[in-house]
Every structure is written in C-alpha cells, then in structure tokens.
Amino acid sequence: QVRLVESGGGLVQAGGSLRLSCPASGIIFSINAMGWYRQAPGKQRELVARITSGGTTTYVDSVKGRFTISRDNAKNTVYLQMNGLKPEDTAVYYCNAERPPMVYWGKGTLVTVSS
C-alpha cells in the first residue's frame, strides 16, 4: 500500500498563490509517475499535472504557465506550485501515485479561489 496525504489547500483571492504538498509513505519503491488531479463541483476529475520518476512533466492546457509540478525523490514528495489562481481553479485537488499495476489516491485538499 502507498499512503498519500495532501496539504496546502485553502481560500485565496484571485491572482494569489498556493503550494500543495503530498508526501508518499508505505511501500514506495517502484513508484513511477506522481500527479495532481482536481474535481470541481458537478464536474469530472481531471488531470492537472503529472511528473514521471525521470522528471518529465505534463500539464493540462488551462494551467500551463501558472502551475508547476515538482518532485523530491529523497522525500518521496510531490508538490504543486499554483500561481495566478483563478476562480475556475476552485476544486478538490487529489494527489496520485502510479506503482504499476496499482494507482493510489489521497483524500484531497480543497482549493477555493474567490473573485
């Protein structure tokens, strides 16, 4: 099992910044990619950003240039730096870890951006 616990969410005004953190614990060897997903009310969960063990990153178009995903392999932690936040970024943000064939999820942290 891999345990993921997100932190860093909260309420912020439009244009502000937040940094999400997600340390992984448990059976963490062979974790490949880690990522951040989000789910807004009434919408499907979507990929926000993903980073492989080699450092290759992927972003959804709506956050490119504003969000940065990073990974500290020594601390088994993935981060999401979110700048220039917009009201449409409001959602529950979930961390995930891929350890094939399993995918593990955290319980999420709420990000609310006020206009």
Determine the pLDDT at residue 77.
93
How many C-beta atoms surround the C-beta of residue 83 within 10 A?
14
The residues with which 94 forms a beta bridge, in sequence order, are 37
pLDDT digits (tens, 9 = 90+) for 1-43: 889 999 999 999 999 999 999 999 887 778 889 999 999 999 9
Q: Is the peptide bond before 41 cis (omega within 30 degrees of 0)?
A: no
Determine the pLDDT at residue 73.
85
What is the pLDDT averaged over residues 55-66? 97
**47 pLDDT above the threshold of 90:** yes
Backbone phi, then psi, for 73, in 5-degree steps?
-65, -30
pLDDT digits (tens, 9 = 90+) for 99-110: 889 999 999 999
pLDDT digits (tens, 9 = 90+) for 70-95: 999 888 899 999 999 999 999 999 99
First CA to last CA distance, the chain: 40
